[in-house]
Structure 1
């Protein structure tokens, strides 16, 4: 039987208790059951990230107590590898289309030759340490410095799914590189927590190690204004790493994932109870008028949605495209000295540009869509204000504004690229939309821009080979400013309109659907209560008392579980 965290057990019991309170009543519990399933199934992915040769795989081999992960393989063949407990040891290689192929654990060389076929691996080992860290699933990520394709396959899949990240920095590097800081900025944008391990500390004297630890801590404080754990690991890293995993606090992470949604669900259920009580108390004619009013409101929402989508291009899309493109251009210009260093040191200029574009584009797109979502929610809000008069006796005088705020919070979570499968009240099929923004950003920066950048770099003058002279440095800088950056901006302007339209269209659909769903649920509760009222006309007071008792019990349960 699957081992559950105490928090998982508590939340599942809480939802079971609520469901049991309504035995024999016709309340819709689909959302509750979906959330309960998601709580039970939730895993906590723990990606281990760092530069190629930072010592991630060696560290994990020591943690496992055996040399099973390949060490020192070519960066271009590196794939993200999930370490999972299983009695029957094997590897599942996951293809890009989601299908799987099974291998023996000795077949890493075979997989390496076919790495382009797969997105990631699942390595099942009969290992007590992996069993002990459940529900954490440790993931050995491709190093920064791996092929752009493999690196971005891993980023695409694990960045939105990772629950907590462990960042490995070799003491030999001496600090966190600018490239790594950008990766950490993406984690912070996703509100993912992380810790930093300084590896191979046995290769340096104690005072040198302490200097590196202090410098890394200072970099994190300056970049993120936050105190992150920075811990050393050396030869005895197997015990240290196990102790470090114990500090990650899975119970807290699990609570952070689900607590808001449990509160939202509880609030919705209590709201339905109040509507049910009002429907029982009010006359048949009043109920019918509100039912008609809610139907009219749903029609107005649909009409408003259609008008907004028709006006999408003129009102929103062009502005968002232009703001995103100009923001990316400014960020590239701001980092032009780093691009020069990449050329001078013969490092990967392509990768550096891609990182800057991806981070700046994602950040600006999030900001733009977040701002627009507030405006669009307000437009739907205005459409519903006329319903306030009749609905006040059922849902309170501020119900439209309360609904708008709830939808705004939901949209903000999606737009900040935070939402995981477990954090939505949708089905697994629908929740695939949640990752669309992340996939879109990565597709544009890797699939569209990477070939373009490679082509533009070809046209850099041969003076790159004579980088020592100041004049040549200025000329290269001018080439980047006048050729590479404008080419990237031109390509973005060609590719972004369709993508932005899709994003904004989906946002409008999500907002309108949220309003329509809420109105529909209110309408159905009133219809059901009206039916029961007509059937139990002589027992209305008894039914209302029953609902009052359920309400009181739910409040008590919530105080002891989600508000404790």
Structure 2
């Protein structure tokens, strides 16, 4: 993409200006390093044995992925354009493998978390900013549903839902997953595998049915459906066109991401340059007064922020209690269903997972996020320092907090907290499974139907109480961790602001000793650099609006 080289050039120019004035370039260096590896995810999801891995092999034209897998060996795999390298992410180490070893054999989900494949391939090069993610079937375990959302959604443009032609139905796990994608307004493409098993008329009916079913759940009438078969048997142009379409959208996402990063990264440099120019004519004694003013104001801000933190901490506890009641109420509403499933010996983990995630999602959206946003906005107002000589600082601090923190909160709070909840529910699934077995043994020995129902309901309530408490413990922990992260960011912003103001005042003192002619040239250079920085600060604003 042309935009990659354009933004590399902009960030390198920013770094050049920062180095010129001794401004820290660590953040800029990190952004530059990440530009070349920028990719958006395209997770491939569906039930087990629908032919997801075979489909990806067909796209690439080479059998990189193993197709004879079981739920125990179904390790998530990422595939993208690169230099023919394979990385195996085990529990305790990252192992580099050779491309010739593919497809990998002997991996298990107990020992390996993820495999990444960089492959030099003509089509992958064509979609080089797309990261195809082969996820195990949802019907293997409920935590894969959680992972598909929590880990990959924040940096995804679309999902590919794979459905086998011999079973063109949407099971409850897939329906629940699609409902969650709808909340995030995430596009879904449907891919029918093993399509050669149907004749043309049957295949057309299958496409219409899936388009209707998926469209109804995600509330879109533009759901696209493509058809493929296993490697080497059919044309995969339809699917390739979908991936090309996704690739075409990555440019806009890239520009929005890096223009925002450019505006944020250049903010403190702008403050520094404006301060240098505005205060160039002040005396040494006046500069010392300004320095004292900065120190005093920053100390006052720190005290005010601590008070606001304590106030918000109390509000967060109220949110957590409200979410607790929502989770318990929603689970209790399903008591008849859970009791019936227990009585029949049916696995209830998927059902409980679905209810809990929905309750947490609504609770976070309606209770926590609005208060968190207001908290950050209050902090923003506190940090607005009124320097009579330089009102731009006020605007800059506000813009930084609102762009860098508030936006980040609304996009990441829910996935981060849900991910933590998922980690707690995963081991608890074994406990639920054990209770199902105990219930089965108990009711087997009870002939009286009323007593049997009483025992089943008792077990269901015990599960609801345990799940509620475990989930709330997790939510409280994750919310507190998230708040700590936000607070640390605010503190870093305050410290950066203080440091850049102190540096500008210190450098102006040095300027005072320079002869008048040289000082004029320095100011002219400052103004030229400020012009460039202000272009960066306004980068892509019109297009985003």
Q: CA deviation at 1:286?
A: 4.4
Q: Which residue of structure 1 aligns with residue 255 of structure 2?
A: 255
Indicate the residue corresponding to 1:264 in structure 2.
264
Q: Is the 8 A contact 2:91 2:112 kept in 1?
A: yes
Instruction: For 1:189 and 1:228, locate their aligned partners in 2 and report how far apart those are by CA, in whole Å.
Output: 17
Contact 1:198/1:232 (<8 A) preserved: yes
How far off is 1:78 after superposition?
Answer: 0.6
Q: 1:415-564 maps to which residues of 2 (within 5 A)?
A: 415-418=409-412, 437=417, 439-447=419-427, 449-460=428-439, 482-555=461-534, 563=542
Per-residue CA deviation, residues 21-77 of structure 1 (Å, 9 max, x unaligned), is 677444444333322222223233332112212221121121122334222521232
The alpha-carbon distance between structure 1 residues 227 and 292, as it changes in their structure 2 partners (threshold 3 A), is farther
State the SS of the aligned residue for 2:89: strand
Aligned-partner SS, 1:145: helix
Offset, 1:93: 1.9
Pairwise CA distance, 1:11: 0.8
Query: Displacement of 1:370 after TM fit?
Result: 2.5
The residue aligned with 2:319 is 320
Give the drift of 1:518.
2.6
Q: SS at the partner of 2:133? A: strand
In structure 2, the residue corresponding to 1:116 is in which secondary structure? coil
Residue 56 of structure 2 is matched in structure 1 by 60
My pick for the range that moved more, 137-146 or 491-500, is 491-500
**1:473/1:124 CA distance change after superposition, 3 Å:** farther
Counterpart contact for 1:83–1:125, Cα < 8 Å: yes
For residues 481 and 30 of structure 1, do their structure 2 counterparts lie closer, same or farther at Cα, with a shift above 3 Å needed? same
Cα drift, residue 172 of structure 1: 4.3
Pairwise CA RMSD of aligned residues?
4.1
Query: For residues 252 and 228 of structure 1, do their structure 2 counterparts lie closer, same or farther at Cα, with a shift above 3 Å needed?
Result: farther
Relative to structure 1, the CA distance from residue 502 to residue 33 in structure 2 (aligned partners, 3 Å threshold; closer, same or farther) is closer
Match of 2:94 in 1: 99
For the pair 1:245 / 2:243, whether they are aligned, the reply is: yes
Instruction: Give the structure 2 partner of residue 423 of structure 1.
Output: none
Change (3 A) 1:223 1:155: closer
Counterparts of 2:410 and 2:345 in 1: how far apart (Å)? 35
- Count of residues in Structure 1 that have an aligned counterpart in Structure 2: 533
* Structure 2 counterpart of 1:141, from 135, 139, 159: 135
User: What TM-score, normalized to structure 1?
Assistant: 0.79
In structure 2, C-alpha distance between the alignment counterparts of 1:457 and 1:490, rounded to whole Å: 19
Aligned equivalent of 2:292: 292
Of 185-194 and 518-527, more deviation after overlay is shown by 185-194
**Where does the alignment leave 5 or more consecutive residues of structure 1 unmatched?**
420-433
Q: Provide the rounded CA distance (Å) in 1 between the counterparts of 2:369 and 2:298.
A: 24
Q: 1:275 to 1:201 in 2, by over 3 A?
A: farther
Q: In structure 2, what is the equivalent of residue 118 of structure 1?
A: 112
CA distance in 2, matches of 1:280, 1:377: 34
Q: Normalization by structure 2: what TM-score?
A: 0.81
Structure 2 SS opposite 1:280: coil
Greater shift in the superposed pair: 152-161 or 67-76: 152-161
**Paired position in structure 1 for 2:372:** 373
Residue equivalent to 2:164:
170
| Structure-2 residue corresponding to 1:403 | 397
Does 2:178 match 1:179? Answer: no
- Assess, with a 3 A threshold, how the Cα gap between structure 1 residues 257 and 352 changes in structure 2: closer, same or farther: farther
1:424 alignment partner in structure 2: none
Unmatched segments (≥5 aa) in structure 2: none
Alpha-carbon separation, structure 2, partners of 1:106 and 1:27:
47
Paired with 2:2 and 2:478, the residues of 1 have a C-alpha distance of 42
The structure-2 alpha-carbon separation of the partners of 1:204 and 1:480, relative to structure 1 and needing over 3 Å to count, comes to farther
Query: Within the alignment, does 1:197 sit opposite 2:191 as a pair?
Result: yes
SS in 2 for 1:83: strand
